[in-house]
Amino acid sequence: MMKKPLAILALGVLPTFAWAAGGHSGGHEAPAHGMPGHDMSTMSAVDSAIGRPGDPTKVTRTVEITMDDSMRFTPSEIPVKAGETIRFFVKNAGKIPHEMVIGTMADLKAHAAEMQKMSGMKHAEPNMITLAAGKVGGLVWTFDKPGTVDFACLVPGHREAGMVGKVTVS
């Protein structure tokens, strides 16, 4: 009898810590699952331009990011060194869902347009995390090359309202 309440408690608490060294907590389903409009062949090109999924055992530092209903990320500018593996500890301090998606601005805009056309679109990629209100999670990313890497919330209207940021890789 005591095992059932413990299991319910565990299932209720685990989503709160939606660590996503690869995935999305409750947002989108993998494009490989047949979502129209997704071209997985571009993902490899995107990965090389923006870095690659990081190995959680090789994290060089953790950067805390807060998302909120003012449609902002705090901080919105993050300096890193080429080769660093960053664990982004992301908190949704708002009352509505938000997400953090790492990519080139062109790819972020294209994906945002897809999301507007297909409400309820689901995907799970290592460069993004979606969090419900009040939830926390994380993703791990390695920044290979010097340059600028963008991130944005692709919930329809959020990027357009200014929910964007930049990682400057030196």
Residue 168 parent element (H or E): strand 164-169
Asked, for residue 9, whether it belongs to a domain, the answer is no
Alpha helices in 18-98 (DSSP H): 41-50
Asked, for residue 61, whether it belongs to a domain, the answer is yes
Longest Cα–Cα distance of the chain, Å, equals: 57
pLDDT at 31: 34
Asked, for residue 3, whether it belongs to a domain, the answer is no
Handedness of CA 40, 42, 47, 48 (dihedral sign): positive
Integer Cα distance of 61 and 81 in angstroms: 11
* Number of domains the chain is built from: 1
List Cβ neighbours of 14 (8 Å cut-off, separation of 6 or more). Answer: none
The model's pTM is 0.72
Contact 134, 47 (CB under 8 A): no
Alpha helices in the chain (DSSP H): 3-13, 41-50, 105-117
Query: Could you tell me which residues are beta bridge partners of residue 72?
Result: 68
| 3-state secondary structure (DSSP) of residue 103 | strand
pLDDT at 59: 97
Integer Cα distance of 133 and 124 in angstroms: 19
Asked, for residue 6, whether it belongs to a domain, the answer is no
Asked, for residue 62, whether it belongs to a domain, the answer is yes
Asked, for residue 1, whether it belongs to a domain, the answer is no
Integer Cα distance of 41 and 51 in angstroms: 16
Asked, for residue 45, whether it belongs to a domain, the answer is yes
pLDDT in tens, 130-169: 999 999 999 999 999 999 999 999 998 899 999 999 999 9
Helix-, strand-, coil-residue percentages of the chain, each rounded to 5: 25, 35, 40
Asked, for residue 10, whether it belongs to a domain, the answer is no
What CATH number is given to the structural domain containing 159? 2.60.40.420
Contact 152, 121 (CB under 8 A): no
pLDDT in tens, 79-127: 999 999 999 999 999 999 999 999 999 888 887 777 777 666 656 789 9
pLDDT at 123: 60
Domain with 62, as residue range(s), is 18-169
Instruction: Give how far the C-alpha of residue 128 lies from the chain's centroid of Cα atoms, to the nearest Å.
Output: 2
